[in-house]
Amino acid sequence: MTKKLLIISMILGLMGGLTLSLGIAQTVPKVALVLDKNNYDSTEPIQVTLTIANVSETAIITSKGFKEKSFHLHLFFTDPDGKLITSNKLFETGASTPPPPRVFFINEELIQVELVEFLEGKQPGSETGWTLTMTFNARDYYALTKSGKYSVKAWIPTRTFNSYQTSGNEFFAILGSSNPIYQIESNVVNIAQAPPVSETGTIQVKVDKHTVGGGSKPGSTKEPLGGVLVRVFDKSEPKCVAPYGAAQYGFSWKKYPSIWTCSFAGEGTTPSEGPNKGTVSFPSLPPGDYLVIGLYDTTYIGSGADGLDPGETLNKYLQLIVKADGKKVPGKTTKITGSELLIIEPEYVEWDGTQEFYPFIFESVGEWTVNTSVNPPEGFVADHNSLTAEVISQLKAIQFTITNVGSKWVSTDVTYQLSHNKRKETIKSKVGIKLSEKLAKEKGLSKFGHEDKGKK
């Protein structure tokens, strides 16, 4: 392979020479899916063998880290009712915002690059080149509770490049020179499942802490959060939860401290270490609608858990957001199905001065473009009207800084414009407002500002 020496200056402390390599013919890996059998009862393991391989004679150039992807989380089941089921562990991988692109000075220009790796091509006499085979129990990662016929396939997003360059022992491609993301699909496997035998269900609660940095496009990390006391409340319980639910604000975060004192259907604390860190389960619950509330320090975090069916394990997520200034706020989650997108936003922001951060966090399967715009109430000004995040199977965050220059203390409207392939969707939401005790006293308002309408 011919290589041409370029005269360069290295950025970010990179040392050594830079060489240009000729292109490699573009191709993508193949994915094969095999199950141990085609009929199961509702509890026995579903053993899946997933194989990813380069079946061409040429190497595949792909983004660095492809070989370490969580491939077992990229199965897509279609249940007997036609509903798409993705992994209930999909957003528990501890993803973080990647660092900024590496930069080189090439031909008197600053060029952003992406590190790459190679899936080796097959050698003479071999059927495949680079190959990864993994076997696992699908029930460890997917909630498959209904009786009837399922279909399943693997669907793995892959980015490839036609050429690469080298610097010392590192390989990279010019940012923007990649081919479109390919959603490589496996064969489809059909299975059948016998009816569940349990008359009760389980709610499994996962609590995550998101730590967000400063700036409009901050870094963000996620980790399971231990030491959180979690209670499950039956929404049909007439003496406490139901009256609060019928009140003006419904089952909103404003009612959580009051509901917390009611009788509960289950209580547990998330472990602070071990493989189940941050996760607590509530088995043997009668079918019905529930409210899950966690208490961390003095912060209440809640989520509805409606429609628990017999034999079902309902996975719910509680999110705590730690902002750049150290303030903790509860997060709420919107889940877009299909090629999955998770939107995590503050349930509310507590004000104690004239300026606050409003962070928004996104996780995805596949490639999504999310344009987020905020419309603060009268008397508040945001530093940006909108911010855009390109979310490609990873964790991304954006953040607005909002300044108070007036006096209308109500919620901030949020609009998400979502784009995935040809799919377009608009989601509207609100971020609530809460005043610190000191600020509420200064303004002559209660802790919920002008939305409170006289309630304390």
SS3 316: strand
Alpha-carbon Rg for the chain in angstroms: 25
* For the chain, percent of residues with pLDDT exceeding 70: 88
Q: How confident is the model at residue 96 (pLDDT cuts 50, 70, 90)?
A: low
pTM for the full model?
Answer: 0.62
Residue pair 219/397 in contact by the 8 Å Cβ criterion: yes
Q: Please calculate the CA angle 325-216-175 and round it to the nearest 5 degrees.
A: 135
Q: Which residues, other chains included, contact 149 with Cβ-Cβ below 8 Å and sequence gap of 6+?
A: 80, 190, 191, 192, 193
Tokens of 397: 């965050």
DSSP 8-state code for residue 178 = B
pLDDT at 97: 61
Instruction: Give the model's confidence band at 251: pLDDT under 50 very low, under 70 low, under 90 confident, else very high.
Output: confident
pLDDT at 286 over 70: yes
Residue whose entry in the numeric block shows the structure tokens 């001065």: 353
Q: Is it the case that residue 281 has pLDDT exceeding 60?
A: yes
Contact 412, 375 (CB under 8 A): yes
Q: Which residue has the higher pLDDT, 349 or 262?
A: 349
Q: In which band, very low, low, confident or very high, does the pLDDT at 7 lie, cut at 50, 70 and 90?
A: very low
* Mean predicted confidence (pLDDT) in 195-202: 82
pLDDT bracket for residue 186 (50, 70, 90): very high
* Domains present along the chain, CATH in parentheses: 3-193 (no CATH), 198-322 (2.60.40.10), 327-456 (2.60.40.10)
Sheet bearing 229-234, strands edge to edge: 266-269, 229-234, 288-296, 299-308
Q: Which pLDDT does position 451 carry in this prediction?
A: 78
Q: Go through 158-176 and write b for each residue having 16 or more CB atoms within 10 A of its CB, e for each that does not.
A: bbbbeebbebeeebbbbee
